[in-house]
Chain A
Amino acid sequence: MSRRSAFVITCLAFGYAFLYVPIASMVVYSFNASQLVTVWDHAHSPTLKWFGALLHDQEILGAAWISLKVAVANATGSVILGTLAGYGLARFPRFRGRFAFTAMTTAPLVMPEVITGLSLLLLFVTLEQTIGWPAGRGIGTMIIGHMTFSMAYVTVVVQSRLATFDRSVEEAAMDLGARPVKVFFVITLPIIFPAVLAGWLLAFTLSWDDLVISSFTAGPGSNTLPMVVFSMVRLGVNPEINALATLTITAVTILAVGATWLTARARRHAASAAA
């Protein structure tokens, strides 16, 4: 083996170790029987008892359910608004104030979350005092809060997909008798659907692990999973958290592998049909 390739392999090993050793150690410790996170109980490990405990922890289950509702609502809302914004920005490239619009849609990407969260909180409080809506804070305000930044990501994803889109395909549909709205739903949307789906997943993920904005916009009884985990960890790391993390990683891995497999299968189908 040449020196150079040995060097490259060392670099790679360090890089991957940096990324995955913490995760791997957490997965391993989720099967630890000891109550103390840092002590490995040789006598009783590995065990699934923390996974069992997790399934009976009403606080975590409730928080997970809230997180799921918020994430799905946020992803769906963000995809609708973000796709419209991305379409507008990509399709009408010369309207007045386009630069300002582009800057404004992407600003939430770089805005410190604390500032976004605080301003949302102030807005909700003021609104409640003046028009009586939203009455208190809870899941609804959290969804709105998450959408303010998730939507920006979806906009960017959709806009960049549309930048490489052959406009004459839309024109051809119009030429054949489809009105613009129909063209959007029957031609444009199906073609950019992978980008829209990617945007949905991205928005879902952003919402699922958001802590800062949730904390500002949540109300009593609407704690999300990250909020519950964070408050639990502050009282000391609980092995249940490790189990929760392991489950999350498993879900993510299954999703990623499934997506890859589906794509590969679609490609194989295409190839065999061509032959």
Chain B
Amino acid sequence: MVTAIGRRAAGEPWNDPDARPYVELRRVTKKFGEFTAVDDVSLKIYEREVFCLLGASGCGKTTLLRMLGGFESPTAGRILIDGEDVTDVPPYERPVNMMFQSYALFPHMNVEQNVAFGLKQDRLPKAVIRERVAAMLEMVQLGEYAKRKVGQLSGGQRQRVALARALVKRPKVLLLDEPLGALDKKLRERTQFELIGLQDKLGVTFLVVTHDQEEAMTLASRIGVMDRGTIAQAGTPAEIYEFPNSRFVADFIGSVNLFEGRLVEDEPEFVRIDSAELGGTILVGHGISSAPEAALWAALRPEKITMSRGAPPQTDNVTRGIVQDVAYLGDLSIYVVRLATGKLVRVTRPNTARHAEPVERDGEVYLSWDAASPVVVTR
């Protein structure tokens, strides 16, 4: 998986308490009647970032984006852009532009007129408009389609018209609602990189909504994982993947094995968790802050588990099981291993070499992992 940590948004402004946020949501709530679509969200986004809002369908991503665009007004809370409170500013006066999920192109205009529309509203001189539209169309490789009606374009071309139309106004922030959602898989992958390239070149801050975690990982400087109207966790793709703060996030990003247990040793440098599901203890190589009696879970990624037919040398973090299922995916294989307790554990192994030691269905295997690998979550 490609991630883009530190590539954009010079440094890591989110770790700098003095950095000035470019977009800021302060305790924003949106209710539709009794239903709370966005629930007390606070968020800071920094200049030149690509921030991805990731979440299942219906969790309030579009609603959040529409509040930034000015199409919904928050029930409570304030929205600031570049230090200015825009909560009550109408969409046509906000320094942001939006790329709609349906693209929302103007069907009665050609490509050029669509892209020029925003500049015309600013009453720019005709020559300037022509020049900027042509440059923009060149940038999204639509130069030769300038005179086409939008009804005559393919899905990918329409997507690029929508992008060009929103970018040509040089907004402070570009809001993108599922920008690649309507494209097929191959085109989507290619377009992801084009999108990053464009963002890099223009230096516009992007706020992208998506339900596709791979897309979020590829595009984002930071990801905000949304769950039923709240932001469950915000962080770089690596932080979210390696240090999820809850079972929800661990499970939503990639796949994970969760072992429920309780603390039996609690030291500043390590903890030991006794898990009935595992039928043993898990040694975790870092301290945690949790009440000793509280229920907790050790989260272990499938690719961080080593599988062997012979017993590994270590004594901690080892267990045994029977391979119940094998799925060959080409670049890697997924194994489902049944422990003596009945718990099913998912293990992945890259198919780098023709394994000297093939693992077959119904074979007995040892599973082991490093003490640094498990992450402890308390909710």
Chain A positions near chain B (C-beta within 8 angstroms): 166, 168-169, 171-179, 182, 187, 190-191, 270, 273-274
**Are B98 and A172 in contact, CB atoms less than 8 angstroms apart?**
yes
**Are B102 and A166 in contact, CB atoms less than 8 angstroms apart?**
yes
**Are A273 and B121 in contact, CB atoms less than 8 angstroms apart?**
no
B13 interfacial contact with A, CB 8 Å: no
B6 interfacial contact with A, CB 8 Å: no
B186 interfacial contact with A, CB 8 Å: no
Give chain B's interface residue range (CB within 8 Å of chain A).
20 to 34
What's the Cα separation between A190 and B121 when bound, in Å?
A: 17
Number of residue pairs spanning A and B whose beta carbons lie under 8 angstroms apart: 68
What's the Cα separation between A135 and B151 when bound, in Å?
A: 53
What's the Cα separation between A35 and B212 when bound, in Å?
A: 82
Q: A187-B106, A191-B107 are in contact. Are A172 and B100 (CB under 8 A)?
A: yes
B128 CB to closest chain A CB, in angstroms?
15
What's the Cα separation between A179 and B93 when bound, in Å?
A: 9
**Are A171 and B100 in contact, CB atoms less than 8 angstroms apart?**
yes
**Are A175 and B92 in contact, CB atoms less than 8 angstroms apart?**
yes
**Are A175 and B69 in contact, CB atoms less than 8 angstroms apart?**
yes
**Are A172 and B104 in contact, CB atoms less than 8 angstroms apart?**
yes
Q: Among B100, B108, B149, which residue has its beta carbon within 8 angstroms of that of A270?
A: B149
| CB-defined contacts of A179 to chain B, threshold 8 Å | 92
Chain A residue at smallest Cβ distance from B107: A191
Per the 8 Å Cβ criterion, residues 6-39 of B in contact with A are none
Contact residues of A: prevailing secondary structure: helix
Q: Among B90, B101, B107, B117, which residue has its beta carbon within 8 angstroms of that of A176?
A: B117
Q: Among A176, A190, A273, which residue has its beta carbon within 8 angstroms of that of B118?
A: A176
| CB-defined contacts of B98 to chain A, threshold 8 Å | 171-172, 175
**Are B97 and A175 in contact, CB atoms less than 8 angstroms apart?**
yes
Chain B residue at smallest Cβ distance from A189: B108
**Are A173 and B149 in contact, CB atoms less than 8 angstroms apart?**
no
- Chain B 96-114 interface mask (CB, 8 Å, partner A; 1/0): 1110111011111000000
B357 interfacial contact with A, CB 8 Å: no
| CB-defined contacts of A171 to chain B, threshold 8 Å | 69, 71, 91, 98, 100, 104
B48 interfacial contact with A, CB 8 Å: no
- Chain B 117-156 interface mask (CB, 8 Å, partner A; 1/0): 1100110000000000000000000000000110110000
